[in-house]
Structure 1
Amino acid sequence: MTYFAVLYTYNPDNEKIVDARPAHREFIATLHGEGKIIGSGPFTDGNGGALISIQLAEGSTVADAEAVMNNDPFYSEGLLDNRVIHTWNPVIKSF
């Protein structure tokens, strides 16, 4: 498997984020059902944003991860202030 850390930045008070959250969570649940989600959740410091960790087939690239994550309503509806995707090496895998 190839692993990716997806970092979202968004305004937690944005009503459009609140409105899109159910569709976003359905998207995440679908990825989880496909075995692609390692973990996902918002940051709780009050500044907004989230971390989503995904796994794709061995040899997948950041472009592959982008293609998957482009279907997230938070992204496709233009609600993110920023999105960064890193290839990740989870040296300790306790998930």
Structure 2
Amino acid sequence: MLFAFICKDKPDHLQLRLDVRPDHLAFLAALNAEGKLKFAGPFLDDEGKSCGTLMMVEAADRAAAEAIAASDPYAKAGLFASVEITAWNWVINNPAST
């Protein structure tokens, strides 16, 4: 099952994001190697600066998705003001369905 992680950064935490980014990218690379990461990228504010994260992961169930989200170095560092985890059905332009 696919889950969208919609994560919003705490205000004025861009430097923390930049500091933790290498660990976050390594985390994403590991998820990708396991076949769990479908796509990911930052949300941008009006100035083009990162202010959150959108990740789509495959997990067995909500508990597994929550465990993945909690393992993100950004989450561990306290970057996020909020994290929403929502099950998602990839209908249009899903490369797995072609």
TM-score normalized by the length of structure 2:
0.82
Name the counterpart of 2:3. 4
Take 1:12 and 1:23, find their aligned partners in 2: how far apart are those partners?
21
SS of the residue 2:28 aligns to: helix
Instruction: Give the Cα separation in 1 of the matches to 2:11 and 2:54.
Output: 14
Aligned AA (1:17) = R
Is there any run of 5+ residues in structure 2 with no aligned partner, and where? none
How far the C-alpha of 1:55 sits from its partner, in A, is 1.0
Q: Give the whole-Å Cα distance in 1 for the aligned partners of 2:28 and 2:92.
A: 23
- Structure with the larger helix share: 2
Partner of 2:83: 83
Identity of aligned residues (%): 36
TM-score for both structures, normalised by structure 1: 0.84
**Alignment partners' CA distance in 2, 1:66 and 1:19:** 24
Residue 49 in structure 1 maps to residue 52 in structure 2: yes
Give the SS at the match of 1:81: strand
Structure with the bigger percentage of strand: 2
List gaps (5 residues or longer) in structure 1: none
Count of aligned residue pairs for this structure pair: 91
Partners of 1:12 and 1:49 within 8 A in 2 = no
Of stretches 47-56 and 5-14 in structure 1, the one that deviates more from structure 2 is 5-14
Query: 1:1-95 maps to which residues of 2 (within 5 A)?
Result: 2-11=1-10, 13-14=12-13, 15-46=15-46, 48-56=51-59, 60-95=60-95
What is the CA distance between 1:61 and its match in structure 2?
2.0
User: What is the CA–CA distance in structure 2 between the aligned matches of 1:18 and 1:11, rounded to whole Å?
Assistant: 13
> Which amino acid counterpart does residue 81 of structure 2 have in structure 1?
D
CA RMSD of aligned residues (A): 1.8
Deviates more, 1:73-82 or 1:6-15: 6-15
